[in-house]
Amino acid sequence: MKDFLRSSYLIPIAVLAVVAVAVATGGHRQLDEKGRPLVVWAHPPCPPPLMKIYNGIFDEFRRTHPDINLRVLHITGNYEDKIKVMVAGNVAPDTIFMYPNALAAWVELDALESLDTNLEADPNVRTSDYFTPMIDTFSYGGKVYGLPKDASAVIMEYNVDLFRRFDVQPPRPDWTWNDMLDAAAKLTRDTDGDGRTDLWGMTPYSWWIFVWQNGGRILSEDRSRCALLEPRAVEALEFWAALRYKHGVTPTLEAEADMGMHQMFIAQRVAMSFEIYPIVSVYRKTCEFEWDLAHVPAGPAGRCTEVRGSALAMSRQCRNKEAAFEFVRWLTAAPGMSRLLAVEMPSWKSLADSDAFVKMPGLPASKRVAVESMEYARLPLQHPLYNEIMDALNPALQKAQRGETTVRETLDHAVPQVNKILERHRARN
């Protein structure tokens, strides 16, 4: 034995022993020490005051469900990317926060569990309890993958004080593109006389909403190619780009890099911003002026906006599916959402359309606008390669927005790239 301890053979053995110890320790558990199913919920990036509210909600869940062990993970940074890495690493959380654009990619990765069977089995919930556009947004291939949590669409917030000060007509429900452009132009000024514009009329909303409002589409009906080179789309994009490079009613890119879009609204450097409903809790706290909500203007082909909002989905790697579904259902229905009314609009119809939400005290005065926007809200583009498609289009269109090239020219480069991405996707499936 003593001889052995002097032998050099000890070295590789020691190394392998270290490896063995490392392999032996570890492993995931299904049930916790008390035998309760563990449900891991990955909470997206969230400012501290909001987190407090959520913690209250989680505590309520734990109180009403003593037989489920809810564990909350706090994710910061790019939520989607982080969760994807966790799924790839086989350590996915049980329930995931879902954005509309992300759904298709997740489904295709085979990472989500369809909720249809759970929905059928549970008497407490029906899909008709939620706003239809929201349920549709979180369905793919005919199956429901997410229960919608907050319902929101892109709507307008405008600075009532600025409109009054410069004597501009406030937005009306029948506003068109040109009405908006007119008002924005009147509200783009140099307010401190230093020769540089420091107030802009509006921040631009997503270019594809412009495209839709003009009757165009991003992808063709059969989703086989990019439809942005069609006349309606090009026209819409030219209007969108001209807002910056021609009319100058939207902030420059440098100003934007300095302060984010909604920071500019708070600092009264833009008069109209286009954000989703949840921004109201930020504005309520930080805006030192009167502001309100309005509908987005109608384009030549009618009024529409994009559904955003969010949902809770269940991952395939979930080990306790019933418990996880119960959490998802509870959070998206009245018990969970009623504490969030000050912050967002629930997708649970009966709660959203009630006085509890619409007649809540505090700005904005026109909360109804949010409820009404559900009527003309459209599903966002759902494609598994959404990120790649946008990565190909956004920089190209930003070039046009800066006036460095025309919309047509930049699309001539970008659309074939998108088509290649679509082609590659079709070839692989």
Partner 1 sequence: MMRHGRGFKSVAGRVATYVVLVVLGLASILPFIWLVRSSLCSDKEIMLPVTKLSGIVPSEMHPENYVRVFQSVPFWRYLFNTSFIIVFVVTGTVLSSSLCAYAFAFCRVPYRNLVFYGVLATLMLPGVVMIIPTFILFRTIGWIDTFKPLILPAFFGQAFFIFLFRQFFLSLPRELVEAARIDGASALQIYWRIIMPLTRPAIVTVALFAFTMTWNDFMGPLIYLNSQENWTLQLGLQSFQGQISNEWSLLMAATVITVLPLILLFLFLQRYFIRGIALTGLKG
Partner 2 sequence: MALQERRDFWLFLSPWIIGFILFSFGPILASFAMSFTDYSIFKSPRWIGLGNYREMLVDDPLILKALWNTFFYTFLAVPLHTAASLAVALLLNKKVKGIPIWRTFFYLPCVVSGIAMGVLWRWIFNPEIGLANTILGPFLDILRLPHPQWLLDPVLAKPAYVLMNLWSLGGGMIIFLAGLQGVPEHLYEAADIDGAGRWAQFRHVTFPMITPVVFFQLTMGLIGSFQIFAQAYVMSGRGIDNSTLFYVYYLFEQAFRYFRMGYASAMAWVLFAGILAVTVLKFKLAKRWVYYEGAE
Contact set with partner 2 (CB under 8 A): 8-9, 11-12, 15-16, 81, 84-85, 87-88, 109-111, 253-254, 257-258, 387-388, 395, 399, 417, 420, 424, 428
What does 84 interact with, of partner 1, partner 2, none (CB < 5 to 8 A by kind)? partner 2
Residue 389's CB is within 10 A of a number of other CB atoms, namely 21
303/297 Cα distance (integer angstroms)? 7
Q: Which of 13, 73, 109, 360 binds partner 1 (CB under 8 A)?
A: 73
Q: Which of 27, 35, 142, 361 binds partner 1 (CB under 8 A)?
A: 27
Rounded to the nearest 10 degrees, what angle do helices 177-186 and 231-245 cross at?
Answer: 10
What does 222 interact with, of partner 2, partner 1, none (CB < 5 to 8 A by kind)? none
What does 338 interact with, of partner 1, partner 2, none (CB < 5 to 8 A by kind)? none
Nearer to partner 1, 76 or 220 (CB): 76
Q: Which of 1, 26, 254, 288 binds partner 1 (CB under 8 A)?
A: 26
- In whole angstroms, the minimum distance from the beta carbon of 27 to partner 1 comes to 7
- In whole angstroms, the minimum distance from the beta carbon of 110 to partner 2 comes to 6
For the chain, first and last CA: distance in Å?
Answer: 61
Q: Which of 20, 31, 85, 109 binds partner 1 (CB under 8 A)?
A: 85
19 binds partner 1 (CB under 8 A): yes
Q: Which of 38, 68, 70, 75 binds partner 1 (CB under 8 A)?
A: 75
Instruction: State residue 139 phi and psi, 5-degree precision.
Output: -115, 155
Do residues 38 and 29 touch, judged by C-beta distance below 8 A? yes
74 binds partner 1 (CB under 8 A): yes
Task: Dig out the tokens for 136 from the structure.
Answer: 């549709």
- In whole angstroms, the minimum distance from the beta carbon of 191 to partner 1 comes to 18
Task: Dig out the tokens for 27 from the structure.
Answer: 């492993």
Residue 274 CB partners (closer than 8 Å, separation 6+): 154, 155, 156, 157, 202, 203, 204, 205, 296
429 binds partner 1 (CB under 8 A): no
Residues that bind partner 1 (CB under 8 A): 6-8, 10-11, 15, 18-19, 22-23, 26-28, 45, 48, 73-78, 82, 85-86, 88-91, 258-260, 263
